[in-house]
Structure 1
Amino acid sequence: MNDKNFKALPIQLSNKLIAEIKEGNSLFQQPVKENGMPAFVKPINPITGKGYSAMNALILGMQRHDDPRWMSADAARYAGNWVKKDEKGTLIEFPKTSDIQAIRTAEGKVIKDDAGVTQTKTVEFDKPQRGQAFLFNGSQLKDMQPLDEFIAKQDEGQTLSPNERAAKLIEDSKAVIIHGGQEAYYDKQRDAIFMPEPEHFENETKYFQAAIHQLAHWTGHESRLNRPMEGKFGSLDYAREEMRAAVAAILIGGELKLGHNFGQQAAYMNNFAKILKDEPFEIAKATRDAQKISNLLLGTTQKREQKQAPEAVGFQKGDEIAYQDTTYKVLETYKTKSIKVEDADGTRKVLKPEYGLYKSLLDAKANPREPEMVLEEEQGQSQEQGQNQKIGR
């Protein structure tokens, strides 16, 4: 990746989004493909069963595959699958906090053992660095489990329909929703969502899609995620918030298998394209915020589901939990609820329930997701106060 012509991944993503917006076929504009399938299918690693972080999920979802499964060539090979001839991978990024490097002498010569094997060491980074990988979709791989079998197994135990899951998510949020009128919007001053009556919509799914989009705006209130939401309608600051809500609705719709529908997209596309052109790294910030939105809304539902299923709470011997840049395996569980774990480097430790890592692993087990790259905050964000309290019209 040292090619001078290589562009950073957020720039690549921004350029592709701009091109699709101009063609009118972006995920914001065309939520359903010609074959009737959702334009965005939630990407998943079929080996670990885990999803991908928001920016990576958007990148993979923009490939428009019906198959949700994605793996690296190496992971596929270990699983007994192979990349088909002439298939090209899709680049993603992930945070690396350590690296395995060869041990060298003072003169820089690699040290090998008696068998000629290079000796290595694990180097910890002061700050997370960008790791990159090329992933291949299940449709690009040989000898994969039939897709319908994989999806059927994925859906085992799920008794609720997508619309029922959406209704539960909305109910669990405890957001105030007032029905009536012709507009769907969030009023920050009143901290309430205003929605037309359900019968105003083409069908029940369209109603829930619109409600979830407004619920994404609702998370920005100062008592929740506290995002800047003061831009006037039609302004670039207003469009930034719309971009975050739109991406979050795509992620949540993919999770619930509800799909998404950015009903007022035409009003924002020019501003979306301008932001992505002038500030291509804004997409990294927008997807990071969208991840927080979806985590908050989906987490509320998942935590309630966990209370209804006590067997899903806590650790079990043999659990393998992806967290940060490594995987922790639970070696032992104790009556005190403490656990002994081993990370991918072979480091073992005992964690007590009051430890931060213990709580983080418990949350990662309940809400398995690829960690999001932490980007440095850019200074100078507009703090201008606007008069319009309607958001997401």
Structure 2
Amino acid sequence: MNNNIKRNGRASTRRDHYQDVTDRIVAALEAGTAPWRRPWDPEKSGGPLSPINAVTGRRYHGINDLLLGMSLFSFASGDPRYCSYKQAKARGWQVRAGEKGTTVFFYKQLRVEDRDAPADGEEHTRNIPLLRAYTVFNGSQIDGIPEFVPPTIEEAPWRRFDGADIILRNSGAVVRIGGDQAFYSPSTDHIQLPPERAFRSPEAYAAVQMHELCHYSGAPSRLNRDLTGRFGSAKYAFEELVADIASCLVNTELGLPTEIENHASYISFWLARLKSDKREIFRAAAAAQKAADYCLAFHPDFAGSQSDSDGHDAAESDAPLVEAA
């Protein structure tokens, strides 16, 4: 499809959202920061760190979680709520003049006639994936919005100290303790962990448990990701990227640290992959979201809290569509 579209008889260049997002992620990695990490103390943040929609209460997912997590408001405001201008207006709230929003995305399938199909008298259609781009504003940018009140531990019991233990136990994963390395072995389908005393704190131990459980989720009998890559390969690095993002999503929900040590070579592999394929971070974020949802579902309280959600971010009907094919 031609990237130049005509408006009022003049050609304009369509913005490449995939490249824009990839460039932001690459810049953060080159600066030494994985942008999906949450480098703050969850106990001092005043509430859940996962961004949510101010109107629907639903979590943002995948690439949107990463993009909103990179926003300065995630560090400064203490308010995880976002919504579009249209949503705010419908509630009688007002986005303050001059405020700059954050672009997030939503996928949509558009069914069109397949002109390349054989002329056999039958109707042929195909689906074109479209990327819907829209702008959201943080609660701190909106006048009239009710004050944000963080949920209590009774309202979010998965954030108790034993949340990771409950998830790991309910997953049924085989866990072996010993040695000085933490890893998931696809060949034996087990998680290996050093003794808990080898970690800086119980929270750090729980965070690593969740990281390895995210790897565990990729087995053929579960989410069926490609786990065949050897250390140092592109496949191995991609799986580490997925697990790193996924464990950050899980640990953020549980109120655990998200800083987990990774081999320095991962960064160079991630950069090479992202620079060569502008859609790679979207695929990695989508796979990470599936892994995080898989793991979190083992906590019955969290699973129950998501029962009324359709799993999609709220989208605006008037947002522009961008071809994703």
TM-score (structure 1 length as normaliser): 0.66
The DSSP-based 3-state class of the residue aligned with 2:151 is helix
Give aligned pairs, total.
290
Q: What is the CA deviation profile of residues 104-129 of structure 1, one whole-angstrom value per residue up to 9, with x for unaligned ones?
A: xxxxxxxxxxxxxxxxxxxxx95553
Q: What is the CA deviation profile of residues 324-367 of structure 1, one whole-angstrom value per residue up to 9, with x for unaligned ones?
A: xxxxxxxxxxxxxxxxxxxxxxxxxxxxxxxxxxxxxxxx7345
Contact 2:53/2:314 (<8 A) preserved:
no
Question: Which residue is equivalent to 1:278?
Answer: 276
The DSSP-based 3-state class of the residue aligned with 1:221 is coil
Identity score, percent: 28
Task: Return the alpha-carbon distance in structure 1 between the equivalents of residues 187 and 88 of structure 2.
Answer: 51
Which amino acid is 1:59 matched to?
L
Task: Return the alpha-carbon distance in structure 1 between the equivalents of residues 272 and 79 of structure 2.
Answer: 32
Question: Which residue is equivalent to 2:144?
Answer: 143
Task: Return the alpha-carbon distance in structure 1 between the equivalents of residues 135 and 220 of structure 2.
Answer: 38
Which structure has the greater CA radius of gyration?
1
Which amino acid is 1:31 matched to?
R
Contact 1:163/1:258 (<8 A) preserved:
no
Which amino acid is 1:369 matched to?
G
Question: Which residue is equivalent to 1:349?
Answer: none
Task: Return the alpha-carbon distance in structure 2 between the equivalents of residues 304 and 88 of structure 1.
Answer: 33
Matches within 5 A, 1:54-73: 54-64=62-72, 65=74, 66-73=78-85
Contact 1:239/1:268 (<8 A) preserved:
yes
The DSSP-based 3-state class of the residue aligned with 1:297 is helix
Which amino acid is 1:85 matched to?
A
| CA positional deviation for 1:234 | 1.6
Question: Which residue is equivalent to 2:232?
Answer: 234
Contact 1:31/1:260 (<8 A) preserved:
yes
Q: What is the CA deviation profile of residues 284-325 of structure 1, one whole-angstrom value per residue up to 9, with x for unaligned ones?
A: 11111112111211223238965xxxxx8xxxxxxxxxxxxx
Contact 1:70/1:138 (<8 A) preserved:
yes
Gaps of 5+ in 1: 100-124, 307-311, 313-363, 379-393
Cα distance change on mapping 1:302 and 1:24 into 2, 3 Å: same
Q: 1:75 aligns with which of 87, 98, 108?
A: 87
TM-score (structure 2 length as normaliser): 0.79
Question: Which residue is equivalent to 2:99?
Answer: 87
Which amino acid is 2:229 matched to?
G
Cα distance change on mapping 1:191 and 1:179 into 2, 3 Å: same
Cα distance change on mapping 1:22 and 1:305 into 2, 3 Å: closer
Flag the structure with more relative contact order, 1 or 2, with Cα contacts below 8 A and sequence separation at least 6.
2
Structure 1 residue runs of 4+, over 6 Å off? none
Contact 1:210/1:261 (<8 A) preserved:
no
Task: Return the alpha-carbon distance in structure 1 between the equivalents of residues 271 and 224 of structure 2.
Answer: 25
Task: Return the alpha-carbon distance in structure 2 between the equivalents of residues 239 and 286 of structure 1.
Answer: 11
Measured on the aligned residues, the alpha-carbon RMSD in Å equals 3.2
Matches within 5 A, 1:259-298: 259-264=257-262, 266-298=264-296
Question: Which residue is equivalent to 2:15?
Answer: 6
1:370 has 2:303 as partner: no
Q: 1:26 aligns with which of 14, 17, 34?
A: 34
Contact 1:185/1:194 (<8 A) preserved:
yes
1:163 has 2:161 as partner: yes
Deviates more, 1:136-145 or 1:214-223: 136-145
1:42 has 2:35 as partner: no
Gaps of 5+ in 2: 6-11, 112-125, 316-322
Task: Return the alpha-carbon distance in structure 2 between the equivalents of residues 305 and 226 of structure 1.
Answer: 21
| CA positional deviation for 1:161 | 3.8
